[in-house]
Chain A
Amino acid sequence: MLTVQNLSHDPFYNQAFEEFVFQTFREDDVFLLWQNTPAVIVGSYQNICREVHVETLRKLGIPIVRRMSGGGTVYHDLGNVNYTYITSQDGLVDYDRCLQPVIEALNDIGVPARKNRTCDIAIGDRKISGSAQHSAGGRLLHHGTLLFQSDLAVLDKITTHHKNDCFQSKGTVSAICSVTNIADHLAVPMTLEEFRTRLLDRMVPPGSPRLTLTPEQEAEVCRLRDEKYRSWAWTWGKTPAFTYEKSGTFAGVPIRVAYQAKKGMISDAVIDCAALDGAEAARLLNGSRLDPEGFAGICRALVGKRAEELMDWLL
């Protein structure tokens, strides 16, 4: 087992770092620990708008990052520690192979953790860790969260309170689970730094290779960050095809909004509302990208100062 140090807290960089290590270190088992500043991380095949309230995140300045593994939406902050376990794979799905060593390591350092459901780790009945996988070319990437001292109120607000039923779509829907922080269940308290160090020492014993990327490798990670993880095509273009419909009252009169999106491109758009120019709305929306910034611009063009209010009808 080897590890590669990653001190970055940039959620886009960190997804790229993980993918780069997955593609580059083909022989050894790899264990990584890493942390993100507040970010929402969605599964490879999820409809972002159905999972979270995009406008709320935009106002809070919390980025949305799509990852390469399956599963549901998670919230990361600096109270959460992520781990990645990369190993060879015979083609079959087996979570226990990756989960058991992590659970044993947690137990060894004083965390009373146990396996729960297929791929969760819990203390009692409450989840402290969720995980997901990506496999390709005979290699498996397993990664998971470890809630150490996350802001659970924000997590709850972002991931559970804004399910949006206006989207009719295929794609993976997140499960909602009761969660708890590891720090609240320790007989002997430790800091997050101590937790990271002890877990790493247990998974990658002293004497095993502890690597850092060369400047050339770091440049590759940055290229992947910019060309893939920060791109519209990856984050929004990968949204499973959906149809959207919502109606109610806007500016005191009835409104009905409907459109479709395939590979992130809008078609069949209708905004039926006496308070705005419906023909212009259809012209602006059809052929446009499913993109919150772009939608905000369209709303400003249609209704000026009421743009923010109209946004709530479009996503």
Chain B
Amino acid sequence: MEKELTMPKLRPEMENGVLCAWLKEEGDTVTAGEPLFEIETDKVVNQIEATESGVLKKQLFEEGDTVNVETPVAILETK
């Protein structure tokens, strides 16, 4: 099953965040709780973790891209 991970809304005023770094590459196996990517907003660097175990199927943005909140960032293939 495919599962989308989105840019989280971390403050009520937050409109977008910068995808700073991918911590996993496409095809990598990830376990629930493992960090997948890093975002920065309002001087906070946040590690976003996989909510379920699976394989990182697709990175939908490149490092450095500004992404609106609630937009899909990654697709995870779960069992």
Contacts and interface: CB of A to CB of B under 8 A. Distances in A.
Contacts of A238: 21
Interface in B8-30: 8, 10-11, 14, 18, 20-21
A170 B5 CA distance: 23
A171 B43 contact: no
A92 interface: yes
Contact of A91 (B8, B33, B43): B8
A131 interface: yes
A132 interface: yes
A135 B65 CA distance: 20
Contacts of A91: 8, 10
B52 interface: no
A168 B1 CA distance: 40
A204 interface: no
A136 B46 contact: yes
A241 to B, nearest CB: 6
Contacts of A87: none
B47 interface: yes
Contacts of B63: 240-241
Contacts of B10: 91-93
A45 interface: yes
Interface in A134-189: 134-137, 170-172
B42 A119 contact: yes
A135 B45 CA distance: 6
B59 to A, nearest CB: 15
Interface residues of B, number: 23
Interface in A93-138: 93-95, 118-119, 131-137
Contacts of A69: 43-45
B77 interface: no
Contact of A45 (B14, B45, B65): B45
Contacts of A93: 10-11, 14, 41-42, 44, 46
Contact of B64 (A72, A92, A134, A241): A241
Contact of A133 (B14, B38, B45, B66): B45
B47 A137 contact: yes
B41 A44 contact: no
Given A135-B44, A136-B46, A171-B64, 10 more contacts: A44-B20, A44-B45, A93-B41, A133-B45, A134-B44, A135-B45, A136-B47, A137-B35, A170-B64, A240-B20
12 contacts: A44-B40, A45-B20, A72-B43, A92-B11, A93-B10, A93-B11, A119-B42, A135-B44, A136-B47, A137-B47, A170-B18, A241-B64
A68 B66 CA distance: 20
A45 B35 contact: no
Contacts of A70: 40-45
Contacts of A264: none
B8 A71 contact: no
A43 interface: yes
B40 A172 contact: yes
A132 B35 CA distance: 20
A170 B66 CA distance: 9
Given A45-B20, A170-B64, A118 B42 contact: yes
B49 to A, nearest CB: 7
Residue among A69, A70, A118, A238 having the largest count of chain B Cβ atoms under 10 Å: A70
Contacts of A132: 43-45
Interface string A63-100: 00000111110000000000000000001111100000
